[in-house]
Chain A
Amino acid sequence: MEVVSQGHELFNKSCTACHGRDGTQGDRAPALGAARRYFRLSEAAIFDAIKNGIPGSAMPASGLSDDEVWRIVAYIRNIRSTASDNDVPGNVQNGMEIYLGKGKCASCHMIRGQGGLLGPDLSSVGAQLSLTQIRDALTKPSPPQEGYVPVQVTTRSGEVIKGVAKNEDAFSIDVLDTNGKLHLFTKAEIQNVVHNPESFMPHDVDKTLTPSEFQDLLAMLSRQARTKVHREQQGENEVGR
């Protein structure tokens, strides 16, 4: 971590004019540690941008030594780190018990084949989200993700189906109901759709669990990193000179 702190220092000496202090907000250039999608993901790609600049953009060659550039690379990788990159304290085994039991997470979420279908699979959540994002998902209200929007559909025959919309357009809607059954409708086959603006995801998990239980759950979730996330791979090959 010494390398990271040295990189942090170098970053705040050399890069803040455009990328902002600590790389968390940029005025004239991208915030390098924000939740946006980045094209330069690998160490080599980030090194290349700092060392040589990005032709056709305002990003100049830094003029720093290779050693200094690598320290900045380490820092940028650190601020973009996902939860699984951190050694989140807590009892992982107990976290899994809470996930399956008191927390009721497994009613909707699956980890490695165990659990429900209505919410996103969490088998790799530690590699997909930062620790802050995981904590926010458990404690703050947020709009539902695409594919997980809660809906209530009333069919022409009056049947009411509750679940999440896997997709919807002007002419069709596909709903995975709360029993795990898939319904494929054209809009002509239904009377109406009611959308729930709030996700099914509870946002008071830090209150329904004790502080130590909550920490154990965070520790367990942060270690779920089965595969690298697809999103991280996109654009990887678009970089280079």
Chain B
Amino acid sequence: MLRPVAFIVLSAATLPAQIGEKQLRQPLGENWYEYNGTYDSRRHSELKQITTANVGSLVPSWIFHIPNASRLQSVPIVANGVMYVTQENEIYALDARTGRQIWDYHRVPAYQRAPNRGVAIWGDKVYFTTTDNYLIALNAVSGNVIWESKFAEYKDGYCSPAAPLIVKGKVIVGVAFGDRGLNGILSALDATTGESLWTFHAIPKPGEPGNETWSGDSWKAAGGDTWLTGSYDPELNLLYWPIGNPSPDFNGDVRKGDNLYSDSVVALDLDTGKMKWYFQFTPHDTMDWDSVEIPMLIDAVYGGKPRKLLAHTDRNGFYYLLDRETGKFLHGSPIVKKLNWASGLTPEGRPIRIPGMEPSLKGTKICPNSSGATNWISPAYNPDTGYIYFVAMEGCGIASKNMESFRPGGFQYRATGDVPAPDEKSRVIVRAIDMRTGELKWEQERAAAHNFGGGLLSTAGGVVFSADFEGQFTAMDAKTGKILLHFNTGQRLNSGPMTYGLNGRQYVGLTAGSDVIGFSLFEKQ
């Protein structure tokens, strides 16, 4: 029989396995440590037990139900055999082989509703952000709260849905909502203490470079939020963070100018938060085309020499390849056929606008619609095929504007929006494009889906996994797009699949509506 005294003596003897820089910089294998798997955000795993030949026999190994959940957007993290999955203000730690719950954490009160996209892990702790903008650090094995630290004010209307990114003991957190005229920030907090280390302001203040791209006082309620997780290059020590749309979304008359750094990717020094370069995808956006789509970092020969690249499929309808050391534009090409607002890109990568193609009082038909040619759901890159996989939407909207004015306190500040064009039924399609040229290699429609649904996962087994809004979890051949497996989860899918390995077995993890599912190859019991 165990006696209290015995374990009191033992209790502080050793620490659980620590997650540090070394683990986080490894290629994706047994663990999945971050929202997009690795710092380069390619969502490509080296695991290859599951292949194109056997993926047809993938079956659910376990299902975990999250109470009161509906449209989970969390991407599970797996470390040391434990899966961490979230919904707003809640974390569940599960045995990643069995789906059995180890601990859960609920934070109350919860001041507002917003999705949560997952945890980050560092040392012996897991971290996530709440709808009232606290970063919470919990012991990874027990769920005990170690500290909490507030980084934005919910009373102003801010919330924080994105999974944090942790690099060298700095927890990087961002905010939403850009549709409320709330200016975006990106903050670094100390992973040990929760202390604020630096804050980057996505909208420059008077006297700062870029402020001149906002007419009058429009910079004060300007959006540019940071509601998705960025990427990091350890060699350059640069964070690449994607920035959301300007406010008001649809009426650009009140904010003449390019509206920096809305709809941009910014490269920030990890240590200081100072910007090294930026690239703006949609100057003076009037269609809510956030550029939060994940920046994928790829090292490859381009133009005859090895280069550090940044690949990005944007909501505005174009694919971009940048040099991530300098921000120089290298290549751009359309990712959708329905694209009527720009005739192309200049040699510098700036869209060549077609006059009149913007929201009007009567309504203007604009393609892509405001949902975009793609959106926040994660893309993937497979170095073996050299293809980028992403979820595209072919659709148009009738976009109008009005004179809605800004009200402090977190109220909508969109100045109207768009409705689906009656003659243009939107379609959602998984596409593979060549990383260097943007050339379409294959496509596979998510038939009948009118919403993006969830993201993509690529594996060394030559498989692309896809999570479809209609509930179908599918596996495709990375080379051809041929469907190799489809499984009806019975729920809307709004998150990206991930993969991990335990005890010689490869699993694919997925949040499906209100459930978490662990798939693996069928094995007779």
A residues in contact (CB < 8 Å) with B? 104, 107-108, 110, 112-113, 116-118, 121, 123, 147, 150, 152, 162-163, 166-167, 169, 171-172, 174, 176, 178-182, 184, 186, 196, 198, 200-202, 227-230, 233
Taken together as a complex, chains A and B put the C-alpha atoms of A108 and B139 apart, in Å, by 14
Q: How far is the CA of A233 from the CA of B108 in the complex (A)?
A: 8
Q: Write out, one digit per residue, whether chain B residues 48-71 have a CB within 8 A of any chain A CB (1) or not (0).
A: 000000000000000000000000
On whether the beta carbons of A178 and B102 are closer than 8 Å, the reply is no
Q: Would you call B4 and A117 a contact (CB within 8 A)?
A: no
Which B149-199 residues have a C-beta within 8 angstroms of A?
Answer: none
Number of A-B residue pairs at CB separation under 8 A:
104
Contact in complex: A176, B141 (CB < 8 Å): yes
Cβ A150 vs Cβ B145 within 8 A: no
B141, A104: Cβ atoms closer than 8 Å:
no
- Residues from chain A with a CB closer than 8 A to the CB of B95 are 167, 172, 174, 184
Taking CB atoms, residues of chain B closer than 8 Å to A196 are 1-2
Q: If A172-B100, A180-B14 touch, does A230 touch B106 (CB 8 Å cutoff)?
A: yes
Q: Is the interface of B mostly helix, strand, loop or mixed?
A: loop
Closest to A109 in B: B144
Q: Is the CB of B103 within 8 A of A180?
A: no
| Closest chain A CB from B287 CB (angstroms) | 37
Contact A179 B11 (CB under 8 A): yes
Q: Are B14 and A117 in contact (CB under 8 A)?
A: no
Proximity string of chain B (127-144) to chain A, C-beta cutoff 8 Å, 1 when within and 0 when not: 000000000000101101
Question: Are A233 and B109 in touch, CB under 8 angstroms?
Answer: yes
Is B333 in contact with chain A by the CB < 8 A criterion? no
B97 touches A186 (CB 8 A): yes
Contacting pair A176 B142 (CB below 8 A): yes
Contact among A113, A171, A198 for B145, CB-based, below 8 A = A113
Query: B108 to A118, Cβ gap below 8 A?
Result: no
Q: Which of B1, B11, B95, B100 has the most CB of A within 10 A?
A: B11
Cβ B11 vs Cβ A118 within 8 A: yes
Give the chain A neighbours of B145 by CB distance below 8 A.
112-113, 121, 123
Taking a contact as CB atoms under 8 Å apart, the answer to whether B97 and A116 are in contact is: no
Bound Cα distance from A161 to B7, whole angstroms:
11
Task: Please give, as numbers and ranges, the residues of chain A lying within 8 Å of B81 by CB-CB distance.
Answer: 182, 184
Q: How far is the CA of A179 from the CA of B97 in the complex (A)?
A: 23
A152 x B2 contact (CB < 8 A)? yes
With known contacts A171-B98, A174-B102, A186-B98, A104–B107 Cβ distance under 8 A = no
Q: A21: shortest Cβ distance to chain B, in Å?
A: 33
A174 proximity list for chain B (CB < 8 A): 95, 100, 102
Chain B stretch 71-109: residues in CB contact (< 8 A) with chain A: 80-82, 95-98, 100-103, 106-109
Given B6, B97, B101, which contacts A178 in the complex, CB threshold below 8 Å?
B6
A116 B108 Cβ-Cβ under 8 A: no
- Give the contacts of B409-439 with A (CB-CB under 8 A): none
Cα distance A211–B413 when bound, in Å? 61
Task: Out of B2, B10, B16, B146, name the residue touching A150 (CB < 8 Å).
Answer: B2
Which B residue's beta carbon lies closest to that of A111? B144
**Nearest chain B CB to A106's CB is how many angstroms away?**
10
Q: Which 5 A-B pairs have the closest CB atoms?
A: A178-B7, A113-B146, A117-B142, A230-B106, A107-B8
Q: For residue A117, which residues in chain B have a CB less than 8 angstroms away from its CB?
A: 139, 141-142, 144
What is the minimal beta-carbon distance from B399 to any residue of chain A, in angstroms?
Answer: 37
User: Does B16 lie within 8 Å of A172, measured CB to CB?
Assistant: no
Known: A167-B95, A174-B95, A182-B82. A230 touches B141 (CB 8 A): no
Within 488-520 of B, Cβ neighbours of A (below 8 Å) are at none
A172–B98 CB distance below 8 A: yes
Query: Taking CB as reference atom, which chain A residue is nearest B8?
Result: A107
CB distance from B522 to the nearest CB of A (A): 17
Instruction: Give Cα A65 to B109, complex, Å.
Output: 32
A203 shortest CB reach to chain B, Å: 10
Chain B positions within 8 Å of A152 at CB level:
2
> CA separation between A230 and B105, bound complex, in Å?
9
Q: A108-B11, A178-B10, A181-B16 in contact; A201/B4 too (CB < 8 A)?
A: yes
B442 is an interface residue with CB less than 8 A from chain A: no
